[in-house]
Amino acid sequence: MAEANPQLAALKGRRILVALSGGIACYKIASLVSTVAQVGADVTVMMTEAATRFVTPLTFQTLSGRPVYTSMWQAEENFDAQHIALARGCDLVILAPATANMLAKISHGICDDLVSTVICALPRETPVLIAPAMNTEMWNNPITQKNVAELRDTLNYQFIGPDEGWQACRTSGAGRMSEADDIVAAAASLLE
């Protein structure tokens, strides 16, 4: 079904790096990775340690058909520093779910895990699509909003969502991660 969608044609043959930070919305990314792989993209997944608590790397390895990266000390495909190879080897990065913690790290250049380090090492021309996911109070926190503005204004990172709706913390409001199909469509539009 993903193959038949002409809007996703821009993803075919492209090298997409999907980065997960730790949040309950990680489960939605399985569908995203499957869709992107089905349209013929070369999908590589990297995860923070916290993300592996919600969904296992094996899930994404199975869906992508490629190794999943969870550590800066992991060297699967080459002898270069893995974070540099991952940063140089992609056409687009999708950071989803993007927690408040991860937004703060990358907006301040803190590189203390694989995901934040790879994003810091990206060439400036590499497009980055961020799908935030967090409690509504965390999303509305002025510091989080300042970090989002910094990423948009300084690095030209693109955002999708968050949406409004029911959250795992039993509240409703802005902070719910956008649906996987919407994220994939936004990613495709960045590569057209």
Q: Please give the positions annotated as active site.
A: 169
- CA distance linking residue 134 with residue 129, whole number of Å: 16
Q: Taking a C-beta distance cutoff of 8 angstroms, is the pair 95, 122 a contact?
A: no
The neighbouring-strand residues paired with 46 are: 19, 69
Dmax over CA atoms of the chain, in Å, equals: 47
φ, ψ of residue 125 in degrees (nearest 5): -85, -5
Q: Where are the beta strands (DSSP E) in the chain?
A: 15-20, 42-47, 68-69, 92-98, 128-132, 158-159, 163-166, 172-176
Q: Taking a C-beta distance cutoff of 8 angstroms, is the pair 69, 114 a contact?
A: yes
Residues 6+ positions from 153 with CB-CB distance below 8 Å: none
Q: Give, for 105, the enclosing helix (H) or strand (E).
A: helix 100-107
